[in-house]
Amino acid sequence: MTRGRLVRGVVAALGVCLLFGVVGAARTSIDEASPPSEALGRWALAALEAARTGATRPEPPSRWETSSPVVVTAWVHGVPHSRHVHSGGSLAQAVDAAAEAFAADEALLAQDAWRATDDRRARFTVEVVLGEGPLAPDVPWVKELGLVPLHEGLLARLDGELAILSPEELRGGSNYEGGVVTPIPDLTFGSPIDALVGRLAGDLGEDAEGLRARGEVRRFRSHAITEERYPLETEVSVDSLVRASIEGADFLLRHQHTDGKWTYVYSGATGRERPDSYNLPRHAGTTYFVAQVDSIAGHPPARAGALRALRWIERHALRRCGEHPCVESYGRADVGSAALTVVAASEVLAKADDPLARRLVEGLTGFLRSLQREDGELMHEFDLAAQEPIDVQHMYYSGEAAFALLRAHEVLGDERDLEAARRLMAHLTGAGWDFLGSRYYYGEEHWTCIAAGEGRGRADSEEAIDFCSRWLGFNDLLQYREGDTPWSSEGGFGVGPVLLPRLTPVGSRTEAFINTYLLLKHHDRDTTLAREVVERGLRELLRWRWAPGPTHLFADPAGAYGGMPGSPVDLTSRNDFVQHAGSAWIRWAQVLREEAAE
């Protein structure tokens, strides 16, 4: 790392700290009233459901008064079909007024969901405003980050009229992400405040400029009353982990195509697959997790699904790279696709022999070994036209390959795979991560440390133990504790209370820390920190999985059951979101069982 890059990094870090400080100060300017009791919240939903079905309205258990708006919404297949905003009075008055308004809404009454009694019935939410505050300063990034996702919405007043966008409506419209688009794939954050103000202005028959000139726009903090508790607090136990992993596998199997291809991105908002470019490494990784569920928990449909997925690779993606088979992805053969296919097929073989899985492991490990350089690193691509390797490196691929070679050696016993894995791991945890500051900064090393743990007793080295121990300590500093953020995010990873934590790195890193725990345990090292980091991460994943999740936002709650979103406000579930979380769940369940037996 050059001195110039170091200076730029320090300046950027100081800028981020300043930005987060300004945003944090803006967010603390709302004084909140106390919300209604949980019992009264349950009554409100029961009263609305009674109005829908024609049952007798129950009596409220207590009284709660407010001078602020109460937003009652009827959701149909994930869409806010009808909404009643009640200003002032008691919660019971707001609920009764909403029930009366819904009963007079002919368009709502005509919906099949209004009359349904199954999982596709209409659902209700009640959101009570607890306090208001000003918008964040009109400064790029500060403005977009000034709205606290899940907890805050926007309202506008003009000429005695009120327009409001509640947090549940904003979440349903994916309006808590996308305000700031970054060059990093999949990383957007913040709310598109200008567009949202424009929506409020339109509801009031004005344009945004006129609203700002003659009226007022404010943000508000609210308390949401929903049918399903989400996030759901769950203890980490063998039963909870096995149940979550099986339900995750069943989610993937439910949406697997008949030819074995997985649904890549499932949209809870539409109940359908979202069109996206398919990802071969993630196809193979998903297959690995599904095979894991069968090999560890005994779930025959999962093995059948994994074999369908392997057949899809053989039929649609297998090519020849010199003397060996390889896996093509969009016109190129790469190490990531081949390595994770080996991992998946090895997991199938770990349970019982299968000719297809055996062919894939034997052939693709030869391809991986053929790409190894003298220093142990791999060349990550292969030019199919020229039939020669391309010496480039991509994130994750070497760690995935090391894991694949070790898994293949475990199930088939080819010593060439073990030797190649040893050389590759020596590079990854030694010379491959050696620069100024390398002991204080790390990339996404989850596959490296998954491989290090897998190699315990076969490919051990002090460098690997030291590397993964340091990476564990680095992430312990980044892992949220209770109260660190406005959300229930203990166990997530981040650098402050401003950005909503992503769940995908929780899954992948927790997977790696489980293997780091096993590596340290094998060498009689202290495992206290590893266990704490693992179990915090597992709780965070259990908390936010769709079991059943925010069902009022789903077009098909039964179809979404078992999915794992990318963040607490994400209404999509990509197959690797489920894979990383599920692999962590099922692997730790196995560890707990083994330790109980010991």
- 90-106 burial code (b ≥16 CB/10 A, e <16): bbbebbbbbbebbeeee
Residues 6+ apart with CB under 8 A from 58: 43, 46, 47, 50
The CA distance from 185 to 187, in Å, is: 5
Report DSSP letters for 425-488, one per residue.
HHHHTTGGG-STTTTT-----HHHHHHHHHTTTTS--HHHHHHHHHHHHHHHHHB--TTSSSSS
Looking at the domain assignment, is residue 232 inside a domain?
A: no
125/266 same-domain check? no
343 falls in which pLDDT band (50, 70, 90)? Answer: very high
450/551 same-domain check? yes
262/131 same-domain check? no
Mean pLDDT for the stretch of residues 188-200 = 93
Looking at the domain assignment, is residue 21 inside a domain?
A: no
8 falls in which pLDDT band (50, 70, 90)? Answer: very low
Residue 453, both tokens: 């743990």
333 has pLDDT over 70: yes
53/139 same-domain check? yes
Looking at the domain assignment, is residue 231 inside a domain?
A: no
As a dihedral over the C-alpha atoms of residue 172, residue 95, residue 549, residue 253, rounded to 10 degrees, the angle is -80
Residues 6+ apart with CB under 8 A from 344: 284, 285, 287, 288, 291, 306, 309, 310
Mean pLDDT for the stretch of residues 562-583 = 97
Looking at the domain assignment, is residue 453 inside a domain?
A: yes
The CA distance from 112 to 335, in Å, is: 50
Q: For the chain, what is the domain count?
A: 2
183 falls in which pLDDT band (50, 70, 90)? Answer: confident
pLDDT of residue 445: 85
- pLDDT 10s digits, 208-241: 999 999 999 999 999 999 999 999 999 999 999 9
Q: Which of 226, 249, 275 is the last residue of a domain?
A: 226
pLDDT of residue 5: 38
146/270 same-domain check? no
Q: Which of 139-143, 156-160, 387-391, 481-485 has the lowest mean pLDDT?
A: 139-143
211/256 same-domain check? no
Looking at the domain assignment, is residue 54 inside a domain?
A: yes
pLDDT of residue 2: 36
- pLDDT 10s digits, 50-95: 999 999 999 999 999 999 999 999 999 999 999 999 998 999 999 9
430 falls in which pLDDT band (50, 70, 90)? Answer: confident
**Residue of 238 and 8 predicted with greater confidence:** 238
553/463 same-domain check? yes
327/468 same-domain check? yes
What sign does the dihedral 115-117-121-123 (CA atoms) show? positive
pLDDT of residue 76: 98
What sign does the dihedral 255-259-261-267 (CA atoms) show? negative
Q: Write out the residue range of the structural domain in which residue 291 sits.
A: 238-597
Share of the chain above pLDDT 70, in %: 93
214/125 same-domain check? yes
pLDDT of residue 598: 86
Residues 6+ apart with CB under 8 A from 264: 273, 274, 276, 278, 279, 282, 283, 574, 575
- What does pLDDT average to over the chain? 92
pLDDT of residue 256: 98
Q: Provide the residue type at 584 as one letter.
A: A
Q: Which of 226, 250, 269 is the last residue of a domain?
A: 226
193/283 same-domain check? no
pTM: 0.92
59/179 same-domain check? yes
Looking at the domain assignment, is residue 424 inside a domain?
A: yes
- pLDDT 10s digits, 248-287: 999 999 999 999 999 999 999 999 999 999 999 999 999 9
Looking at the domain assignment, is residue 1 inside a domain?
A: no
Match 């660190």 to its residue by tokens.
Answer: 484
Element (H, E) at 198: helix 193-203
The CA distance from 226 to 286, in Å, is: 32
Assess contact for 155 and 165: CB atoms under 8 A.
yes
pLDDT of residue 23: 52
Match 């930005």 to its residue by tokens.
Answer: 19
Looking at the domain assignment, is residue 233 inside a domain?
A: no
444 falls in which pLDDT band (50, 70, 90)? Answer: low
pLDDT of residue 182: 79
Q: Which of 201, 226, 251 is the last residue of a domain?
A: 226
Residue 74, both tokens: 């009827």
118/249 same-domain check? no
CATH assignment at residue 575: 1.50.10.10
pLDDT of residue 187: 74
180 falls in which pLDDT band (50, 70, 90)? Answer: confident
Mean pLDDT for the stretch of residues 7-13 = 37
392 has pLDDT over 70: yes
Mean pLDDT for the stretch of residues 149-155 = 97
Residue 316, both tokens: 């649609």
